[in-house]
Amino acid sequence: MRGLYLHIPFCRQACRYCDFFFTVSLQHIETFTEHLVKELEIKALSFSGTALDSLYLGGGTPSLLSPVQLDRIISAIHRYFTFSEDAEWTLECNPDDVDSNYLKTLKKIGFNRISLGIQSFHDRELTLMHRSHDARQAKESVLEAANAGFQNITIDLIYGIPGQRLKAWEENIRTALTLPVTHISAYHLTFEKGTVFDHWREKGKLMAVDEEVSLAQYRTLRSKLLAAGFDHYEISNFARNGHLSKHNMLYWSGEPYLGLGPSAHSFDGNNRSWNIASLKGYLQGIAAGEGFTETEKLTSTEQYHDYLITSLRNRWGALPGYLEKRFGNSYRDYFLEKTEPFLAAGFMKMEDDRVVIDPEYWLITDHILKALFMD
């Protein structure tokens, strides 16, 4: 196992676009912390033995945990795991949660990377998305993190927001580039089923931006960040000075990882498992020592699909030779046959022994993947 992910499911309020598992009921944070440590004790022995490259606390809003609660969790992790010398420790934070003291405490505990959920530097967009911070707090949180000594700061931005003009998106990018950030994750807004935004769209209250606007925003994002020295290494991710996300790289390279907390996923190299997406069910399962995890044994075809989903999202692409070695000639030949039209049209290209999607067309990756999947 190379990475450890902890899902902290608490939020102050529900963002209107988010379909991750979360709860706004904060009274169970202390009980959750105790049960998370217990889950670590239950599962750690099956995964221990290798120094980890990544620790990532996501959510939800991990910055709702107090320094005492974080210290308790980290102390438990240290009882069971060791970390490589250059391991990356990331904590996701909301801008309105962090101040100088909290950030300095995170550094002292051992975190060396901060991920700030900015989403936008425009108050109108933040209000529409029902974010809990404003534009001023967004900028100040980045500066506070830098002043606290963090040299690896990543921010999340969202484009394709209903009503968002290209000029407003350019201003978001321009503002981000004035700040000491080393990594930017920029996601196109999607209307996920069950979210407020999806409900509003069905009622005609919101409309998705059209494809031309999406494409213009994506191209603007690429051109401005590349010009500023960022490496566009995955559909939604840009890194400066080599600060690629080690945690996400584990996912995209098919490395094993352990996920703890409600709804968290794990992967052992061949099989997926996941915890129940219910805080009550999770707490009850942990207390009983059973009933909170499901496992799926992947078929060869499912593993082939997983490999394409992860490898073709990034600039390293897929290796036909790897497909042959792992799955046999038939999978390699099928892949090469299905990629031919995309190679001929320029959507994909061969780079040495790899097949990659041209970054200019990463927005249509899902369309390409569907054509490469086996029935």
pLDDT score for 193: 94
CB count in 10 Å sphere of residue 125: 22
Q: Which two tokens stand for residue 62?
A: 């991990």
- Residue 206 phi, psi (nearest 5): -135, 150
Amino acid at 170: E
Q: Given this model, what pLDDT does residue 49 score?
A: 67
What is the per-residue pLDDT across 59-88, written as a single tens digit (0 to 9) for each? 999 999 999 999 999 999 999 999 999 999
**Partners of residue 297 on adjacent β-strands:** 271
pLDDT-derived band of residue 48, with 50, 70 and 90 as boundaries? low
pLDDT of residue 54: 97
Per-residue model confidence as pLDDT tens digits over 78-135: 999 999 999 999 999 999 999 999 999 999 999 999 999 999 999 999 999 999 999 9
Strands (E), the chain: 3-8, 52-59, 83-93, 113-119, 153-159, 183-188, 230-234, 237-240, 257-260, 265-267, 271-275, 293-297, 348-351, 354-357
Here the tokens at position 193 are 């089923």
Q: Is the pLDDT of residue 47 over 80?
A: no
21 with 201: CB under 8 angstroms?
no
Is the confidence at residue 293, as pLDDT, over 90? no
